[in-house]
C-alpha cells in the first residue's frame, strides 16, 4: 500500500495545487461554491461517482454515499479556509519538499489524502465522504448534516491536519462562542459627558469580569477577543461589543462558563448588558478516540510508518460534533506540517504517502470488521486512471 501511495504522490500534488489555487474563504459564498466544483471534480475522478451537492444557507457541501448498504464509516473534511482572497502570497509554492498556500494544511491536503486513500480500496461499501463548506465559521449550516451522517456509523475519521510532528488528535476541547453587547446613552464628550452612559467603560468592566471565568488548572480558557465601541471620537459611546472565545475540557466546565456568562450584570447605572451565543461544539473526550487510535497505531506499525502519537488540542473541529452524538471519532488524520491559520502554513510532501496509506488501511480495517459488503455502486477500476 505504501508503495502505491508513493507512486500516487505526483497526482496528489497536482490535485492539491488545484485545490489551493481555488481560494475558498468561508464568508465568500461564490468562492466556496467555486471551490466545491473543484473538490467535486477531483473526488469524482477518485471515487468513480459524483457527489450530492447540498446547499444550506448559501454554503455548498458535498456528500458521497458509496455503495447501496447502510453507512459504516464517515470520512469527514471541509474545503473552506480562513484566508481572504489574495491575502496569502504566493498562493501556491512547492520548494524543498514543502508546500505552502492558503488552506494547504488546514485542510485541503486532507481532502486529497482522503480521495487518494479511498481510490486504492477494492471495497468502499458503506463509506460516506462528507466535505463541508463552513467549518471555519463553526459549522453553522452543516452541523445537523454532520450529526445525521455520523449516526449509525462505526467510526468517524476526520482528515483535519495533524498536530505537531504528525500526532493524531485524540481529544479536543469543547468550544463556546459569545457576543456581549452593552447599551449605554450617547452624549457630547466635551460639552456634557455626564449626561451619557459610557458603553465603552461598561464594556471594560465586563471584559475584566469575563477574563476571570477561565480556570487554568482545569484547562478552561475564556478569552475576550474582537471588541468595538462608539461611533465618533467626540461622543460618549452608546454601544459596545466584545466577542468571547471559550475552550473547555468537559461538559461540566462548558455548563459552568455558560451560566456565568448569562449571569453578567451591568456595573454602571443606566447601562444594559445582553449576552448572545453559547456552546458551539461539545468536547471530544479521549474515550471517544482511544480504541480507534490503538487500531491506527497497530496499522502504522504494520505499514512500517513511524510510531503514532496522540495528543489533546484546544482547537475544535467537526470531530467534536461526531463524538458529541456518540460516534467513535479519530481526528488529525490529515497532512503533516504546520502553521494552520498563519502565514507559515505548510505541508511536508514526504509525509503524504504514509498518511494516505494509513487512512486507506484504517478504512479497510473498519469495513472488514463491520462484515461483508452488501454490494457496491463503485466501478471495478476504482482509481479511474490513478496509480
Domain ranges in the chain are 2-172+283-370, 174-281
Q: Of these residues, 15, 17, 23, 80, which one is catalytic?
A: 80
Distances (CA, A) of 296 to 71, 136, 164, 167: 20, 27, 17, 12
Residue 369: per-residue pLDDT: 86
State the DSSP H helix or E strand holding residue 52, giving kind and residue range, or none if neither.
Answer: strand 52-56
At 96 the pLDDT is 98
pLDDT in tens, the chain (387 residues): 999 999 999 999 999 999 999 999 999 999 999 999 999 999 999 999 999 999 999 999 999 999 988 999 999 999 999 999 999 999 999 999 999 999 999 999 999 999 999 999 999 999 999 999 999 999 999 999 999 999 999 999 999 999 999 999 999 999 999 999 999 999 999 999 999 999 999 999 999 999 999 999 999 999 999 999 999 999 999 999 999 999 999 999 999 999 999 999 999 999 999 999 999 999 999 999 999 999 999 999 999 999 999 999 998 999 999 999 999 999 999 999 999 999 999 999 999 999 999 999 999 999 998 655 433 333 223 233 343
**Amino acid 384: pLDDT:** 32
Whether residue 143 is preceded by a cis peptide bond, meaning omega within 30 degrees of 0, is no
Q: Where are the beta strands (DSSP E) in 66-211?
A: 73-78, 93-95, 98-100, 127-132, 155-158, 168-172, 174-183
pLDDT at 374 (0 to 100): 39
* Helix/strand/coil percentages in the chain, nearest 5: 35, 25, 40
Can you tell me the distance from the alpha carbon of 385 to that of 176, in angstroms, rounded to the nearest whole number?
45
Position 385 scores a pLDDT of 35
pLDDT of residue 377: 33
Architecture of domain 2-172+283-370 in this structure: 3-Layer(aba) Sandwich (3.40)
Q: Is there a contact between 242 and 227 (Cβ–Cβ < 8 Å)?
A: yes
From the candidates 134, 135, 202, 345, give the one annotated as an active-site residue.
135
Q: Which CATH architecture has domain 174-281?
A: 2-Layer Sandwich (3.30)
The pTM is what?
A: 0.88
Whether residue 381 lies in the annotated active site: no
> What's the N-to-C CA distance of the chain in angstroms?
11
135 is catalytic: yes
Burial class (CB within 10 angstroms; exposed 0-12, middle 13-18, buried 19+) of 243: middle
Q: 348 pairs with which residues across the strands? A: 98
Amino acid at each position: 500500500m505504501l508503495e502505491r501511495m508513493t507512486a500516487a504522490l505526483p497526482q496528489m500534488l497536482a490535485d492539491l495545487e488545484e485545490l489551493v489555487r481555488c481560494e475558498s474563504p468561508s464568508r465568500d459564498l461564490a468562492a466556496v461554491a467555486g471551490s466545491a466544483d473543484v473538490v467535486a471534480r477531483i473526488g469524482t475522478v477518485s471515487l468513480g461517482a459524483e457527489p450530492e451537492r447540498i446547499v444550506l444557507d448559501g454554503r455548498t457541501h458535498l456528500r458521497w454515499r458509496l455503495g447501496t448498504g447502510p453507512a459504516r464509516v464517515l470520512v469527514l473534511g471541509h474545503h473552506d479556509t480562513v484566508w481572504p482572497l489574495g491575502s496569502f502570497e504566493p498562493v501556491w509554492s512547492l520548494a524543498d519538499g514543502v508546500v505552502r498556500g492558503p488552506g494547504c494544511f488546514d485542510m485541503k491536503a486532507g481532502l486529497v489524502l482522503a480521495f487518494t486513500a479511498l481510490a486504492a480500496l477494492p471495497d468502499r461499501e458503506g463509506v460516506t465522504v462528507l466535505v463541508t463548506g463552513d467549518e471555519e465559521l463553526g459549522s453553522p449550516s452543516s452541523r445537523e448534516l454532520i450529526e445525521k451522517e455520523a449516526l449509525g456509523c462505526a467510526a468517524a475519521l476526520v482528515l483535519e491536519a495533524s498536530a505537531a510532528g504528525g500526532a493524531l488528535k485524540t481529544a479536543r476541547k469543547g468550544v463556546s462562542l459569545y457576543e456581549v453587547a452593552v447599551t449605554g446613552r450617547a452624549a457630547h464628550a466635551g460639552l456634557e459627558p455626564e449626561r451619557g452612559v459610557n458603553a465603552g467603560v461598561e464594556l471594560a468592566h465586563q471584559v475584566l469580569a469575563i477574563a476571570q471565568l477561565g480556570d487554568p488548572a482545569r484547562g478552561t480558557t475564556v478569552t475576550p477577543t474582537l471588541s468595538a465601541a462608539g461611533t465618533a471620537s467626540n461622543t460618549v459611546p452608546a454601544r459596545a461589543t466584545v466577542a468571547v472565545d471559550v475552550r473547555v475540557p468537559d461538559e461540566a466546565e462548558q455548563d459552568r462558563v455558560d451560566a456565568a456568562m448569562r449571569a453578567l450584570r451591568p456595573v454602571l447605572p443606566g447601562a444594559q448588558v445582553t449576552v448572545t451565543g453559547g456552546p458551539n461544539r461539545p468536547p471530544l473526550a479521549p474515550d471517544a478516540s482511544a480504541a480507534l487510535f490503538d487500531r491506527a497505531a497497530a496499522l502504522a506499525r504494520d505499514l512500517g510508518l513511524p510510531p503514532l502519537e496522540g495528543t489533546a488540542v484546544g482547537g475544535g473541529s467537526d470531530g467534536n460534533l461526531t463524538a458529541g452524538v456518540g460516534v467513535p471519532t479519530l481526528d488529525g488524520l490529515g497532512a503533516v506540517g504546520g502553521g494552520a491559520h498563519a502565514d507559515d502554513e505548510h505541508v511536508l510532501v514526504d509525509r503524504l504517502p504514509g498518511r494516505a496509506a494509513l487512512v486507506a488501511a484504517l478504512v479497510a480495517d473498519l469495513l472488514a470488521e463491520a462484515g461483508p459488503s452488501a454490494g457496491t455502486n463503485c466501478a471495478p477500476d476504482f482509481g479511474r486512471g490513478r496509480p
